[in-house]
Amino acid sequence: MNKNGILFFLLLTTSSLSIMAQTVTLKGHIKTASGEGIPSASIVLQNTDFATVCDSSGDYRLRRIKTGTYTLEVSAIGYKPQTRSLDIHENLTLNLVLEESVQQLNAVSVNAERAKTFGITRLRAIEGTTINAGKKSEVIVLDDITANKATNNSRQIYAKVAGLNIWENDGAGIQLGIGGRGLNPNRVTNFNTRQNGYDMSADALGYPESYYSPPAELTSRIEILRGASSLQYGTQFGGLINFKLKEGAANKPIEVTSRETVGSWGFFNTTNSIGGTVKKVQYYTFFQHKSGNGWRPNAEFNVNTAYGSATYTVNPKLALTFQYTYMHYLAHQPGGLTDAEFAIDAHQSVRARNWFKVNWNLGAMLLDYQINENLRFNSRFFGLSAGRYALGNLDYINRLDPGTPRDLYKDNYTNYGNESRLLYTYKLKGNPQNLLLGVRYYKGFTDRRQGLGNSGSTGTTSDFDFVNSDAYAYSKYNFPNYNVALFAENIVRLNSKLSIIPGVRFENIITKADGFYSLINKDQAGNIIFNQQIQETKNNTRHFLIGGIGLSYLQSQGLQVYANISQNYRAINFNDIRSVNPNIQVDPNLQDERGYSADLGIRGNLAGLFNYDVSLFTINYANRIGTVQKSDPVSFNIYRYRTNVSQSRSLGLESFAELELLHFIDKQYSKARLSVFTNLALINARYINSDEPAYRNKKVELAPDVIFKTGLSYQRKRFSATYQLAYTSDQFTDATNAVFTANAIDGLVPAYTVMDLSGEYKLSRIFALQGSINNLANARYFTRRADSYPGPGIIPADARSFFLTVQVKL
């Protein structure tokens, strides 16, 4: 080597060493006050591209940092964020302790994690005073998805949650209808539905239907928990859906947001909110008005929703929150169609006199108290005063509406309760353990009346008054019920990776019924020719113990194994006790449902590039309540008969995967992201061990064999867009697997495929434009056959529609 070569080699070596000497590594451990590591805590050096999340043990590492002065930001959901100025001139180890936020936080901005999830993440092992370890969970972060939120489009919002069967009742998203794992989607009745951790359904025990669904524009996160959730949340087989609503800005006294949306068929939506923090008070107010004509005739609607929340931080350990929700809507319902009518013209309506009205008043007071670093207490007081009124002709859809007085159903719900939880952190052989103890008290009261509307009900107006005489009443009942429950779960960490989670729940349930029902015969013109009232009083008391166990193994952030098995119990509801409807009858000897569910899954997030969750599940009912097809021996009319069909067994696979593509295609697109996601559910749900040949080995109703969803999400600077495709295979609507009935309340729901496209462009920090095309290919399909409202018959899904939203945020 000549002198020039030697000189060049020395310069190159010196330069390389100099460059290497100017980059350092920052690492450390993020933990709680009790010494437990915080997985997925976000570590960000502000105004740089250096960001990461902690692994399952709470460890983090940032490499190749240039020496200099930085601002470090550390945050995690459920903890108070920290910022710290750092002078980094050499390799540095920095361990930090995060203090739990005394409030049940609805949302924390975790930038590094949000950027890597495109709006879908999972619950941590412990959130506030709930234990989620060993359970299958999904969290939808509403601000991070591009979807039609003005219409609460469930198909778009829940696209990345595997296995959900979605009913589409109306194009405005007034009511939510989702079911999973072969369970009935009707008004989310098979899930325990909550808002900010407290009950929001009509009657959580006796009538768990949700006529109110929080607007997506009001919601921060939707938490879905399945597998062993019955131990903390009570009698249900579907799991938990918890809507965490938005809060006021924590860093300024006032923030105003306004969203205005217009769309097809006269759709108009205005949403306005004001929130902020003034001294010790964090507040948030919200109002939404939504109206439109609907795709089909006789489908206009008017919805108003208001919400207010105020949190007073008494001191760093104690906070009190007061919340109130009001919702009122009036909807004209176009009714159902027969198969022939749907095939000819799905747009048509053969019912012009059906109406539906709901009033909802939901209040709550929440108390959060960090007693000490190892002991946390949460108590939720909640109450509901609400009503739902249904007016119309519920006779078979294959008969002409004779114009006689309409059927009127009126429910009024009054209930209240309290759920209190105590979370204790202790150590065993140096490993932190978590014990949860809880108690729940609930009292519900439903006043239900069914009969004929007054003389004005022969018209088409929305007149919700009864004929002023019990002689015209179909039924009149009071349904009081009481529930006391005690529950406990414990995370037993055998080491830093392996945990077992045993749990137990004691339930005491009392349901009563006091009233009468009528045996009524009508002539061909719909006039009552015979009416006999039968008095009825029922009192059903039962108490029982259910248990379960879970397992969690965290190899790393990219690999976690979870498993659980738990007993389940579901009480019969008021519709199962007595309901007068020509399309459905109830077995007078109907019994509560018992069974168990189990999960085994693997999930992880590999460097934010590949997010996945694959699981196997089973649900076993000892005496599943279902519907079978029967024929009236006198009139030969077909109707649904609700009974304990037999034992049922559901086996399935649920998978979700999302891959970041641009990282592998061209790294120069570091400021853009393009991800593809898929989720696939395969379900085999059958009635087994039945003595009745008509049901033996038949498919469980409303359990499609395949639910598949896929899509692309693109994000660059101020622009984002999402394309989605959803496929649901065919499904039956009764346990006899009838393919066709003349009145259309039972039969096959054919397979369907739907596509959607949504986009958003942020003009500035203040202004944003959003748009959506629902049902992009203009498919003709339906998701349900109704036996009552909004049918009876086939309920067609909406045709292609367009929506445009303007947002202003100050």
CB within 8 Å of 673: residues ≥ 6 apart: 115, 118, 660, 662, 713, 714, 715, 716
Of 119 and 37, the structure prediction assigns the larger pLDDT to 119
Q: Name the DSSP class of 124.
A: -
Residue 504 has pLDDT above 80, yes or no: yes
pLDDT for position 808: 97
pLDDT in tens, 204-227: 888 898 999 999 999 999 999 987
Residue 137 falls within a domain, yes or no? no
The segment with the largest mean pLDDT, out of 66-80, 231-245, 331-345, 564-578, is 331-345
pLDDT for position 106: 37
Percent of the chain with pLDDT strictly greater than 70: 91
pLDDT for position 49: 62
pLDDT for position 590: 84
Tokens linked to 355: 């109406």
Residue 49 falls within a domain, yes or no? yes
Out of 59, 76, 99, a domain closes at 99
Q: Name the DSSP class of 619.
A: E
Could you identify the residue written with the tokens 């649900």?
A: 619
pLDDT for position 10: 45
Residue 536 falls within a domain, yes or no? no
> What CATH number does the domain containing 90 carry?
2.60.40.10
d(CA 329, CA 265): 18
pLDDT for position 528: 67
Give the mean pLDDT of 232-256. Answer: 92
Residue 115 has pLDDT above 60, yes or no: no
- The band of 39, judged by pLDDT with boundaries at 50, 70 and 90, is confident
Residue 144 falls within a domain, yes or no? no
Residue 458, phi then psi, degrees to nearest 5: -75, -15
Residue 636 falls within a domain, yes or no? yes
- The gap between the terminal CA atoms of the chain, to the nearest Å, is 68
Q: CB–CB of 477/515 below 8 Å?
A: yes
pLDDT in tens, 773-797: 999 999 999 999 998 888 899 999 9
Could you identify the residue written with the tokens 């209040």?
A: 363
Looking at the structure of the chain, the number of domains it has is: 2
- The band of 640, judged by pLDDT with boundaries at 50, 70 and 90, is confident
Residue 733 has pLDDT above 80, yes or no: yes
From residue 495, give the alpha-carbon distance in Å to each of 58, 126, 435, 554, 555.
14, 17, 16, 10, 11
Out of 40, 69, 99, a domain closes at 99
d(CA 167, CA 184): 9
> What CATH number does the domain containing 351 carry?
2.40.170.20
Percent of the chain with pLDDT strictly greater than 90: 61
Of 690 and 387, the structure prediction assigns the larger pLDDT to 387
Task: Give the residue from 678, 685, 617, 679 showing the smallest Cα distance to 653.
Answer: 617
- The band of 414, judged by pLDDT with boundaries at 50, 70 and 90, is very high
pTM: 0.87
pLDDT for position 13: 42
Give the mean pLDDT of 236-262. Answer: 94
Residue 736 falls within a domain, yes or no? yes
Residue 114 falls within a domain, yes or no? no
- The band of 250, judged by pLDDT with boundaries at 50, 70 and 90, is confident
Of 524 and 401, the structure prediction assigns the larger pLDDT to 401
- The band of 15, judged by pLDDT with boundaries at 50, 70 and 90, is very low
Out of 99, 118, 134, a domain closes at 99
pLDDT for position 296: 97
Residue 304 has pLDDT above 60, yes or no: yes
Give the mean pLDDT of 406-416. Answer: 94
Longest CA pairwise span in the chain (Å): 118
For 487, the domain range is 231-522+552-809
Residue 114, phi then psi, degrees to nearest 5: -60, -40
Residue 529 has pLDDT above 90, yes or no: no
Of 298 and 57, the structure prediction assigns the larger pLDDT to 298
pLDDT for position 291: 97
Give the mean pLDDT of 403-427. Answer: 94
Residue 4 falls within a domain, yes or no? no
Residue 650 has pLDDT above 90, yes or no: yes
- The band of 332, judged by pLDDT with boundaries at 50, 70 and 90, is very high
pLDDT in tens, 589-638: 888 889 999 999 999 988 778 999 999 999 998 988 888 878 777 666 77
pLDDT for position 302: 97
- The band of 90, judged by pLDDT with boundaries at 50, 70 and 90, is confident
What is the rounded average pLDDT for all residues in the chain?
A: 88
